A and B are shown apart, each in its own frame.
Chain A
Amino acid sequence: MNEQVPSITPQGELFCSPDVEEARSFFRQKPRTMTNKLMSVSEAVSRFVHDGDYLASGGFGGVRIASAVLHEIVRQRKKNLGLSGHTATHDFQILAAGKCFNRCDVAYIVGLEMRGLSLNARRYMESGAVKMTEWTNAALAWRCKAASMGLPFLPARVMLGTDVMKHSAAKTIECPFTGQKLVALPALYPDVGIIHVHRADIFGNCQLDGITIADYEVGRSSKRVIISTEHLVDTDEIIKKPLQTLLPFWLVDAVCHVRYGSYPGNMPYEYFSDEEHLAEWMEAERDPDTFQQFIDKYIYGVSDFREYLELKGGELRMAELRELEPLRRNEEKRMPASGGSL
C-alpha cells in the first residue's frame, strides 16, 4: 500500500519464548486447590525465584511496588535474572544495587521520574554487564496482555520507524484485512511476577485500590506470582468487593503479609513515598564505596524488611507518611479505614 521506507531489521534478543502451547502446558499443571499460601518473604523468594528466572515487578517504579520482595531477592543474592524494565524506577534501583539481573527488556529504566537518574543503575547499565532489548511502556504492557490472552503476539501501532524498533525483538506484519503495516509484539510470559496489593487472603485472592497500572497483565501472564499485601483479610472481605479483585487464588503461589511493603514507595490510600529516604539513596549512589555501605546497612545487614523499616524510623515515620498520603483522607471519608497503624 505504501512506497517502501528503509526497512528496519530488529536486532534485539527475545528473552522469553512467546510459545503459547508451552505456556498452556505450564498453566495446565498449575494447582487449582485453594490452599494456604501464607509464608514469609524469605520463604517465597527462596521457593519461587531462581537464579536465571525472568522477573516482572508490578506497580509503577516507586508506586505500589513489592519492596520487601525486591530487597529479599537482593539479600538472597539471586543472580542472572531477566527483568522486565517496565516503568522501573526504585524497583530497578534495588535490583541494580544487588546486580541481580544480566538481561533487561527496557521501556523505562535508570530514571526516577522527577527525582532524576540513579547513578548506580546507570553505572550498572553502562558497564556492559546487562544485555538490553528496547521496548516501550505500552509495548511491555501489551506483551503481557498477549500472554494473558494466550496469544503469541498482539499487533500495535507504536515503535514503528524508530531506533526502539531497531533494538527490539518485535517484527512488522501486514494486517490481513486492511494491509496496514503493524508491529507484532511477542507475548511475554515472565517466570515470576511480584505484586504488592492492598489486601489478600491466605489463599491468594487479592485486591488493590486505585490505578491498576499493568498488574492485571503481569499477574495473569506470570507463571508464578508472589503477592505481598498491606492487609491480610478473610475471604469474606474479598467477596464484599469482587470488582476490585486483581487475581483469584489459583494464579497465586505465595502470599506475604508485609505492612508498609511498598516503602519507600508510595502506596495509594495508605502512605506517601518517603522522599527523604529516596534522596538518601541517590546521594549514597554518588560513590560506589559509600553505596556499598548503604546497601550493607539497609539490605544485607538486616534479616528482613521489618528491620529495615525500624532503621528508617519505624512506626513514627510510617505515621508521618500516612499523614502525607493525599488519598487517605478520601478513603476515610468514604469507607471505614482498614488496618490502622503499625
Chain B
Amino acid sequence: MKTNNNRYNLMELMVCVASRQLEDSKTAVIGTGMPLAAAMLAQKLTAPNLVILFEAGAVAPKLRRLPISVADSNTQTDALLLSGMDIIFEACQRGTVDYTFLGGAQIDMYGNINSSMIGTDYNRPKVRLPGSGGANDLACLCWKTLTITPHDKRRFVNKLDFLTTPGYLTGPGARERAGLPAGCGPYKVISTLALMGYDPESKRMRVESLHPGITREEVIENTGFEMLFLDSLTETPEPTDHELKVLREEVDPMGLVIGKSGQ
C-alpha cells in the first residue's frame, strides 16, 4: 500500500477524509484513535460547532490533547457537562445524537461489525477481542454510524465471525424488524482505499470515491464480499497542506494515531 507521493501516509489520508464527513452543528459520540483524531480535525477545520460527547460522560469539552481513553482527563478539559454513561447512552436512545464514529476488526457488506472474537467456537475463541464496549449501543441508537478501518480481505469479509455491532443486519428493514430505532444505521466507511456509503435500496456498501491512485480492481481484490460502486465514481480529494498541518501540529503532535503505519 502506498500513497500517491510521500506527502502523507495512509493514516493521515483516512483521518482527513473522515473529518470531512462530519457536518457542523451536530452531535457525535466518538471512540478513541482515528475516529477521535478525525472529529478533532473536523472541529478545527470544517465543523467548529460539532459537539463531541464521550460515552464515559464528558460533553462538549475543549479538546486540547488527543485522549488515550474515552474517559481520561483529556476528554474533560473545559467541558460543558461532566456526566455518566447512562446520561450519554440515554441521550442517544432519545434520538439527540446525530453521529457515532467507530472502528472494528471485521465489517461486512451491510456494515455489521465484529469486535468480539476471531474463530468459530464462541467458548474457545482463536482470538478474543474486547467485545462491544459501547459500539453496539451507539450503532443501535445514533442516527448515522461512520466506520474507519484499513481495507483488506481479513477485515472486509463476507461473513463475520461474530456480529457485535449492527449495521443494516441482513438488509432493508432488518434493523426495524429486530426492534432497533427506525431510520438510523451505517452512513460512511472510510478505508485505506476508498470512501464508501450505502446503496439506499439494497443497504449494501458502495464505493463513492477511490482514494488517489487506487483502482476499482484493487478495491475488489481486497474485499471479501461483492462491493458495489457508484456510477458517478470520483477520486477522493487528497489531504490539503492545511489539513495535514493542523492534523500534525494541533490534533496529533505526538503521532499517537497518524504515527502508526496504515498496514
Binding site for B on A (CB under 8 A): 2-5, 59-64, 85, 87, 89, 106-111, 113-115, 117, 122, 125-126, 128, 132, 134-139, 141-142, 145, 156-164, 167, 172, 180-183, 210-217, 266, 268-269, 272-273, 275, 325-327, 330
Contacts and interface: CB of A to CB of B under 8 A. Distances in A.
Contact of B57 (A115, A135, A212): A212
Most A-side CB within 10 Å, residue of B70, B126, B128, B177 = B128
B229 interface: no
A326 B33 contact: no
B83 A211 contact: yes
Contacts of B125: 125-126
A324 B166 CA distance: 38
7 contacts: A89-B69, A107-B132, A110-B129, A137-B89, A145-B86, A157-B179, A327-B76
Given A5-B178, A214-B84, A157 B140 contact: yes
A165 B123 CA distance: 15
Contacts of A273: 68-69, 72
B89 A114 contact: no
Interface range on chain B (Cβ under 8 Å from partner): 35 or more
B68 A114 contact: yes
A114 B35 CA distance: 11
Given A63-B72, A212-B57, A157 B84 contact: no
Given A114-B256, A161-B174, A162-B136, A214 B86 contact: yes
Given A60-B69, A211-B76, A108 B133 contact: yes
Contacts of A180: 179
B180 interface: yes
B131 A138 contact: no
A128 B175 contact: no
Contacts of A122: 127-128
Contacts of B21: none
Contacts of B68: 113-115, 273, 275
Contacts of B164: 162-164
Contacts of A162: 112, 136, 163-166, 169
Contacts of A268: 72-73, 76
A284 to B, nearest CB: 19
Interface in B182-220: none
Given A60-B71, A214-B84, A109 B131 contact: yes
A99 to B, nearest CB: 15
B89 A138 contact: yes
B165 A137 contact: no
B13 to A, nearest CB: 20
B74 interface: yes
Contacts of B175: 161
A59 B70 CA distance: 12
A280 B86 CA distance: 33
Contact of B181 (A157, A167, A269): A157
Contact of A217 (B70, B71, B86): B86
A224 B69 CA distance: 28
Interface in B67-124: 68-78, 82-86, 89, 93, 112, 116, 122-124
A159 B126 CA distance: 23
Contacts of B82: 210-212
Given A128-B124, A161-B179, A326-B65, A138 B77 contact: no
B24 interface: no
B179 A213 contact: no
Contacts of B162: 163
The 9 closest A-B pairs by CB, nearest first: A161-B178, A181-B179, A211-B57, A111-B130, A60-B71, A108-B133, A138-B137, A138-B89, A212-B84
